């Protein structure tokens, strides 16, 4: 098999056929293309990096076992990510350090979380600096990782899939089996919370003019 | 055209960016944004937030896990050629 670099993955029927035929290059391509997003999604449900990696490993083992039975009712990617979400949820529930299940079903607090709305959102909304310097960009990356970690799980999964990994809203609805409206609400709350954090950060590093 | 307060505009930004609003609402959002500097900046910040979210460092599976999965795939094919 050739390389998939740059051109993305081939259509699903080719992917499935290759996997069933034992095409290692195809399996490696899927592994390398999707695992990074899978690790991030798993981390929304489990408490450690190690657990997240095990969830991803278990997911791929289930994919290997299940590829012959795959029926193409969903895309391969949706199918893989659904297995991932189910595996991660189960694992998250088992982990003592994980929050109770009810937290997963809660959409999170009001919009005033994370410093939003203090002292008026719109008066004196300052333009943000462009993170040109590599030091600032690196700090912002760390801040974003922390912000994701503080979001309620359902918001975290949605914003991770959409904005970090670049999935479409249709894909996210299929993977999480939620409605488009619900997906949008979760995404919006998550973005609003992260924006609030970034605003606080930029305020704190503001240079005197 | 629907009229929006600043708070309502903030509530509907994701829907606006996803093009999920009906025509009167979209027109109302545009009208508000064109004359409200604060909301214009807020939208810019919202967009900047989405952009930095997409700038997270890439992750990958550790080499042992990747190797284990490649072996599992190979073995499965040998079991069911």
Q: How far is A148 from chain B (nearest CA, A)?
A: 9
- Banded model confidence at residue A181, pLDDT cuts 50, 70, 90: very high
What are the distances in angstroms from CA A79 to CA A16, A25, A62, A97, A196?
12, 20, 11, 28, 34
SS3 per residue for A131-190: CCCHHHHHHHHHHHHHHHHHCCHHHHHHHHHHHHCCCCHHHHHHHHCCCHHHHHHHHHHH
Residues 59-118 of A with CB under 8 A from B: 60-61, 64-65, 68, 111
Mean per-residue pLDDT of chain A: 83
- Report the complex ipTM: 0.91
* B73 contacts on A by Cβ (under 8 Å): 22, 24, 27, 64
Which comes out higher in pLDDT, residue A135 or A143? A143
Interface of A with B in 150-209 (CB under 8 A): 159, 163-164, 166, 169, 180, 184, 187-188, 191-192, 194-195, 198-199
So what CATH class is A12-98?
A: mainly alpha
The domain segmentation of chain A, as residue ranges, is 12-98, 141-206
From the options 3.50.50.60, 1.10.10.10, 3.40.50.261, 3.40.50.10110, give the CATH code of A141-206: 1.10.10.10
> How confident is the model at residue A128, as a pLDDT?
79
SS3 A56: helix
More confident of the two residues A177 and A103: A177
């Amino acid at each position: 098999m050739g390389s998939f670099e740059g051109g993305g993955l081939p259509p699903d029927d080719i992917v499935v056929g290759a996997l069933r035929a034992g095409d290692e290059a195809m399996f490696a391509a899927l592994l390398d293309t999707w695992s990074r997003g899978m690790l991030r999604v798993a981390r929304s449900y489990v408490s450690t990096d190690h657990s997240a990696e095990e969830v991803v490993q278990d997911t791929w083992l289930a994919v290997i076992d299940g590829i012959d039975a795959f029926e193409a009712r969903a895309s391969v990617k949706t199918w893989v990510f659904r297995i991932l979400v189910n595996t991660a949820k189960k694992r998250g529930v088992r982990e003592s350090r994980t929050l109770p299940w009810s937290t997963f079903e809660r959409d999170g607090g009001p919009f005033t979380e994370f410093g939003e709305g203090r002292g008026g959102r719109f008066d004196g909304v300052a333009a943000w600096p462009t993170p040109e310097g590599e030091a600032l960009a690196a700090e912002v990356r760390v801040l974003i990782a922390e912000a994701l970690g503080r979001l309620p799980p359902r918001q975290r999964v949605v914003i991770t899939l959409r904005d970090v990994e670049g999935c479409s809203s249709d894909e996210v609805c299929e993977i999480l089996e939620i409605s488009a409206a619900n997906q949008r609400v979760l995404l919006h709350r998550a973005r609003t919370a992260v924006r609030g954090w970034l605003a606080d950060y930029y305020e704190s590093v503001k240079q005197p003019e | 055209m629907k009229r929006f307060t600043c708070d309502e505009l903030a509530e509907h930004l994701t829907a606006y960016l996803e093009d999920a609003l009906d025509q009167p609402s979209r027109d109302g959002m545009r009208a508000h944004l064109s004359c409200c500097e604060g909301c214009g900046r807020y939208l810019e910040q919202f967009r900047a937030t989405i952009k930095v979210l997409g700038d997270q460092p890439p992750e990958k599976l550790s080499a042992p896990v990747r190797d284990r999965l490649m072996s599992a795939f190979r073995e499965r094919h040998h079991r069911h050629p």
